[in-house]
Structures are given as structure tokens and as C-alpha cells.
């Protein structure tokens, strides 16, 4: 069972039909909690031994059928955040300078609830806030970014397909 720890923190696992059978894992059993849970725990234990993969929070698990087997993608979920209305908000930002301008213009309370990602040839900014964006922040984002979606699915897609930047210094060094 080939396993690969991806640069964005996700784990990719390929299972052959034979390996699936050995684990008692099948597409028909995906809705049955016990066999699926047991098989996934077995895979995650093996992944921890082989790759060091560890997800202290929750996991998003995607199972994609292949010709003889399946592809599993395990995406670590960020720690639970307070319940929010309207967010998270996701924005495409073209340059590191624009991203730094946005981050420096955000109030400190908003800046602490922000994730930044290298995404394709540009960047993505994810704002985790409760309620609507304040008007000055909306203006700043209209000037320096493009709306890329809202909600948990948009944030998860960004986390899965982007490379997270840890600090403003990471943004400056990413160019």
C-alpha cells in the first residue's frame, strides 16, 4: 500500500483491490461504521509508522475508486473554531506585496483568525470570522484580492490544494 505525505500535510494512500479485501474495506461497506472505522484506523496506524503522519484534530477522508482498488486522501482539519455565521471567507491574492498589504490592514483581532496559502501562481487568504466582514476590510479586499468563495468547503479546498504559509516572513520568502 503506497503512502505519500504531501507537502500540504495531506496523506495519499493507494489500495489495490486485494489490499482492500484484506482490510475488509469495500465501497459497499463505506456506510457501515464499524468495518470502515477499523480499516481506516489500520491504514492510519501504518501511515504513522511509515510516514510520521499525525492529525491531532479531525480528518476529512476522501475515497476515490480506481480500476483495481481506490485512492484515499486524508486531509487534516484545523482545530475547531468558534461557530461562525457567513465565513470563512476565501480570497485569491496575486502577489506577496498585495497579501502583506491586506494583512497589515487587518485589525489584530481579524489577523489572528487568518490562514495564508501559496496557491497556484498566487496566494489565498482565508479569514475565519463570525458574521459579516467589516466595511473597511471589504474595501481593502476589493482593492487587493478577488473573492474565491466562502464556507467550510472553500476553506478545505484551499487547505487541501495549497501550501500553508506560517507567517508574514514565509510570504516574503515564498516569491
* Segment 112-127, tens digit of pLDDT: 778 999 998 999 999 8
Smallest CA-to-CA distance from 160 within 10, 2, 50, 42 is with 10
Ranges in the chain, pLDDT < 70: 32-33, 57, 78-87, 130, 166-175
pLDDT score for 36: 81
What pLDDT score was predicted for residue 14?
93
pTM as predicted: 0.50
Domains of the chain, residue spans: 3-76, 89-174
Selecting from 1.10.1370.30, 3.20.180.10, 3.40.190.10, 3.30.70.1950, what CATH number does the domain 89-174 have? Answer: 3.30.70.1950
Nearest alpha-carbon partner for 117 in 34, 174, 33:
174
d(CA 40, CA 15) in angstroms, rounded, equals: 12
The pLDDT, as a whole number, for residue 9 is 83
CB 116 within 8 A of CB 148: no
* Measured distance CA(134)–CA(157) in Å, rounded: 25
pLDDT at 81: 47
Residue 16, pLDDT score: 93
CA dist 25 and 159 (Å) reads: 27
Amino acid at each position: 500500500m503506497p503512502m505519500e505525505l504531501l507537502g500540504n500535510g495531506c496523506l495519499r494512500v493507494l489500495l489495490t483491490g486485494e489490499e482492500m479485501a484484506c482490510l475488509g474495506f469495500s465501497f459497499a461497506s463505506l456506510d457501515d461504521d464499524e468495518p470502515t472505522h477499523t480499516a481506516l484506523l489500520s491504514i492510519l496506524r501504518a501511515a504513522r509508522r511509515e510516514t510520521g503522519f499525525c492529525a491531532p484534530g479531525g480528518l476529512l477522508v476522501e475515497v476515490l475508486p480506481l480500476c483495481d482498488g481506490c485512492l484515499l486522501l486524508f486531509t487534516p482539519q484545523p482545530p475547531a473554531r468558534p461557530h461562525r455565521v457567513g465565513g470563512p471567507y476565501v480570497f485569491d491574492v496575486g502577489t506577496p506585496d498585495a497579501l502583506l498589504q491586506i494583512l497589515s490592514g487587518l485589525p489584530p483581532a481579524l489577523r489572528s483568525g487568518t490562514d495564508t496559502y501559496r496557491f497556484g501562481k498566487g496566494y489565498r487568504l482565508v479569514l475565519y470570522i463570525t458574521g459579516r466582514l467589516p466595511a473597511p476590510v471589504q474595501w481593502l479586499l476589493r482593492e487587493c484580492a478577488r473573492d474565491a468563495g466562502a464556507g467550510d468547503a472553500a476553506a478545505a479546498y484551499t487547505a487541501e490544494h495549497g501550501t500553508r504559509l506560517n507567517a508574514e516572513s514565509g510570504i516574503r520568502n515564498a516569491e
